[in-house]
Structure 1
Amino acid sequence: MTVAIIGYGRFGRALGSLLEEAGIDYRALDPVADVPASRRAGSMRELLTGATRVVVAVPVPRMREVLEAMLPHLRPEQLVLDVGSVKVKPVQAMNEVLGTRVPWVGTHPLFGPLSLAMAERPLRVVVCPNPLYPEAAREARAFYERLGCEIIEQTPEGHDRVMAHTHALTFFVAKGMVDAGSGVDVPFAPASFKALSRTIETVRSDAGHLFTAIQHENPFAREARGHLLHALEAIHHELETIPPEAATPDTPSMELPALETGLPELKETRELIDQLDHDLVELLARRAELARRALRAKAQAGTPVPDPAREEAVIATRRAWATELGVDPEGMEAIFRAILRFSRRAQQTKE
């Protein structure tokens, strides 16, 4: 398999790293990005010649012009995949430009450079089956599964509706808070805001064009924003009309819906512990992936793998963190020594 990547921005580079880890050869073309010389194609013809998979990783507004530039050099045995964060418009463009001449399928990797840098798992990809080429979705699935991804099949419309009420609204709320000066880190912020602050920072780390794309290119984003603004305005109006002396926790219309009521304290506490333990396991899985990444970097640099000085520095830092938080440093040291052993075993395990 040889993959051609058109567009070597943040996601194109991230995809390239995944391909390298999977042992898949690729070339890339981007007139403005810095493509490594060993991966750089000098022209569209050179890029597409011999490629079996063609990934279009350009902003959605440029999709049509790029597809038209590709078309003279494509062959029927190739498969074209887009990776846009919206699906209705890219699928429409591929249908109109490529049609039945070349197999194609719309996809949306639900991860980005930050997700990969933080070793978040699982990596999920939405694939929108193409009725013109029923086999294309299966080939796309096999391609992403080889990269270690889980696949979700969805129609372009279904995908964009979900993204409008999740992805687009998250960016919308986060940008509003940033513009209002709320997205700042303060030491006395409550835990509820700290969780939201992490979301804001995640959104801010994405490229600026992504905000515009998911708001303007998703045909359902405007409707989702309108519903949210209407709900917020109604809440604001209701708060303004309730006299301060009457605004008690018993005010029915102001109560937040609970996920479940009447849980005994012990049962609720156990459920919270289970959820926290699940989060810890996910974090340890990400740590294992980062440990394997560090091993590969050491191998490339010719650095010795065992690093006792680094491990002792890690232990000392974690003990200090524990002391600051009022947690037993001896117990924390024992936990992190076990984590280091776990990481070493993960480095020895083939992916």
Structure 2
Amino acid sequence: MTVAIVGFGRFGRALGGLLEEAGIPYRAWDPGVDIPESHRARSVREAVQDATHVVVAVPVALMRHVLLDLNHYLRPEQLVMDVGSVKVRPVQALTEVLGARVPWVGTHPLFGPLSLAMAERPLHVVLCPNPLHPEATAQARAFFEQLGCDIIEQTPEGHDRVMAHTHALTFFVAKGMVDAGSGVDVPFAPASFRSLSRTIQLVRSDAGHLFSAIQHENPFAREARAHLLEALRNVHRELDAQPTEVGFPEEPPLAPPAALETGLPELQETRALIDQVDRELVELLARRAELAKRALKAKAQAGQPVPDPAREEAMLTARREWAAARGLEPDGVEAIFRAILRFSRRAQQNRG
């Protein structure tokens, strides 16, 4: 397998990193980006001429134009995949430009540079099966599975409808909060806001093309925004219509004595919450293991020694300080992190 990446922006570079981790060679072409010499193609023709898989990682608005340029150099034995965040219009472009001549599949990796940098797993990819090339779906599935991705099959219309009511609305709300100045230099924030803060940061850091694509290129996004705005207006009107002074409700009857004695509902709820926290801890350990592997690779490339006792002791000191600040017992927290360090070393040793 040899991959050509056409378009080496934020996602193209992130995909290149995944390919390197999987040991899959690739070449990239993008006239406006500085590409490492070992992966740089001097022209789009050079990039795709020996490739088995061609990934088109350009903004959705440019998709048709780029495909028209590519079409001169593509061969029927190659597989072409787009990675746009919407699917109806890219699939239309693939159908019109490549048609039945060259196998293609519309795909949407549901991850980006930030989620990769944070070692979030598993990685999910939506594939839109191509009736003109039924075998191409299996080839695309095998490609992404080799990168460690889980696959979801969906029609282009079904994908865009889901994205309109999830991805597009989430960014729409976050953009509104950014423009309203929400969360800027606040001295404190409740947990309910912190759960939104990461999306707000994504909108702030995005160059604009992603927000524009998921709003303008998704044919169902405008309808979803309109429904949300109408729902918010209704909520606003209902709140305005409520009286400002609300009396206290009548006291509920006392619970049965048995419930007071056993406390089982509260205990069951607490145990369920503990299970939820433990699951989150396991997911965080998996992410930390991925980051440890990445650190090992970076050290090898830089020629730095893998064991770093000074760094580990400084890290443990910081964790003790964090524990004390939260009212936890520092020795116990240090013991946990020493175990995590041993776990990370084993993960690094098992990186293959």
SS in 2 for 1:243: coil
Counterpart of 2:260 in structure 1 is none
Corresponding position of 2:197 = 197
Residue 247 (structure 1) shift: 8.0
Q: Secondary structure at the match of 2:32?
A: coil
Q: Distance in 1 between matches of 2:155 and 2:187?
A: 44
Q: Summarize the Cα distance change of 1:149–1:247 in structure 2 as closer, same or farther, 3 Å threshold.
A: farther
> Residue 318 of structure 2 corresponds to which residue in structure 1?
317
Match of 2:344 in 1: 343
- Tell me which residue corresponds to 2:83: 83
What is the aligned partner in structure 1 of residue 274 from structure 2? Answer: 273
Question: Offset at 1:328?
Answer: 0.9
* CA RMSD, 1 decimal: 1.5
Larger Rg: 2
SS at match of 1:162: helix
In structure 2, the gaps of 5 or more residues are 251-263
Matched residue type, 1:59: P
Moved over 6 A (4+): 247-250
| Equivalent residue letter for 2:160 | D
Q: What residue ranges of structure 1 are gaps of 5+ in the alignment?
A: 251-262
Map of 1:242-321 to 2, 5 A cutoff?
Answer: 242-246=242-246, 264-321=265-322
Match of 2:31 in 1: 31
Q: What is the CA–CA distance in structure 2 between the aligned matches of 1:40 and 1:249, rounded to whole Å?
A: 70
TM-score where L is the length of structure 2: 0.94
Alignment-derived partner of residue 253 in structure 1 = none
**Could you say which residue in structure 1 is the equivalent of 2:54?**
54
Instruction: Give 2:131's aligned residue.
Output: 131
| 2:253 paired residue number | none
Matched to 2:275, the amino acid is D
The reply to whether residue 223 of structure 1 matches residue 223 of structure 2 is yes
Identity %: 76
- State the alpha-carbon separation in 1 of the partners of residues 249 and 287 from structure 2: 40
Shift of 1:187: 3.0
Counterpart of 1:146 in structure 2 is 146
Aligned twin of 2:9: 9
TM-score by length of 1: 0.94
Once the two structures are superposed, what CA deviation does each residue of 1:215-267 show, in whole Å capped at 9, x if it has no partner?
A: 000011111111111111000000001111138789xxxxxxxxxxxx92111
- In the other structure, the counterpart of 2:259 is none
Residues 45-92 of structure 1 deviation map (CA, whole Å, 9 limit, x = unaligned): 111111100000000010001000001110000000000000000000
Cα separation, partners in 2 of 1:334 and 1:54, compared to 1, 3 Å: same
Asked whether the 8 Å contact 1:63–1:93 carries over to 2, the reply is yes
1:183 lines up with 2:183 in the alignment: yes
Asked if the contact 1:184–1:197 (Cα under 8 Å) also holds between the matched residues in 2, the reply is: no
**Shift of residue 190, structure 1, vs aligned partner:** 1.3
Q: What is the Cα deviation at residue 185 of structure 1?
A: 4.5
User: What's the offset of the Cα at 1:274?
Assistant: 1.0
Match of 1:260 in 2: none
1: CA distance, partners of 2:51 / 2:12: 16
